[in-house]
Amino acid sequence: MKNIYFVFALLTMASYAHTPLNGHPCHHYEIYASALFWEADEEGVDFVFSNDQGTGSITEGHLKQLSPKWNCGYRIGVAGDVACYNVETDLAWTHFSSHTHKGAAAPANGALYSIWTSPSASITSPTSGRGDWDLCLDTILMDLYNPCFSCGCVEIAPHLGVIIAFISQDLNLNFSGGVSSGSVTEVLDDEIRMSNDYWGLGIRPGISGRWQWNDCLGIYANGAFSIVGGSFHVKQSESVLFDISDTPVEILDIDDRMYRTTILAELGLGIYWETEVLRCRPVSFQLGWEQLYFFGQNQLKRFTNASAPGIYLPISGDLSLQGITLKGSVLF
């Protein structure tokens, strides 16, 4: 359904492309595509402490985190001029997904301490574990630009628009080894499944600038700040399989929805190159660094007290995406 809305919006935007775009009097709209080579990082996406010496307390501990890895994404869009107004329109869809995993084993003279295992499970520290973190991001941006300042080689254009964001995250952990407290029942699998899904809609003011060195080459910079209101859908579950049973014991099962207003900050900086090909058809390329920062995206809960199961620590970790963006565009 999102794809249908996206195509309809592209056609609508193209219908407004009647007046000059970016100083080219014979060209009315622009189609562009970007290749993204980004990494994702989020506070609270960790799963175990490894203690090198001893099993009673953490004296030589190291936190095992799900370190970010570089992954590919894309962005496609269309831009045009609104007839009779000095305003440019822009519509873009960005897609990025990431997968990260890590394993851990207890040191010979030490122990592993699971961070996410519920105290209600009443099991001792595991001997091995594995964590997987999956992220999928989709954003749709609709902006109006007003090139209000142009002086020689410098051009500045403030913009105001709307952002729609969809963020889906899954954090899955598995631990084995250890025993049930007070018995010798071995833990075959402590399975923890967590999902943190979000969608939001908000306003997006910002500013874009260009500094042109010569006829073809220059520097660009973009910045935006969004206030996004939306809904989180958080699921957390835990089940433990013991060696004396074929059926896992359910320890935790949460399914919660909540409304939150969050902040998104964006920054882009790089170089661009413009030329003409195919009967004076203007084309341009951009290569730069892009940074996106979603505040308070990690809404998972960490439970800490077996005697009072309702007590938990909110994570409220921030999500950042950063990396290289290569953009190509053509004017019509």
Measured CA distances, 142 to 80, 85, 159 (Å): 12, 17, 10
* pLDDT value at residue 83: 63
**Which are the contacts of 36, defined by CB distance < 8 A and separation ≥ 6?**
72, 73, 74, 75, 94, 96, 290, 323, 324, 325
User: CA 310 → CA 102, 123, 171, 306, distances in Å?
Assistant: 30, 19, 21, 9
pLDDT in tens, 281-294: 789 999 999 999 99
Q: With contact defined as beta carbons under 8 Å apart, do 231 and 262 qualify?
A: no
CA distance 331 to 19: 12
Instruction: Give 110-169 pLDDT, tens digit per residue.
Output: 888 888 888 888 888 888 999 999 999 999 999 998 877 777 788 898 999 999 999 999
Give the pair of three-digit tokens for residue 289.
């660094």
DSSP 119: G
pTM, two decimals, is: 0.85
d(CA 110, CA 150): 65
Residue 173 has pLDDT above 90, yes or no: yes
The residue written with tokens 């439970």 in the block is 303
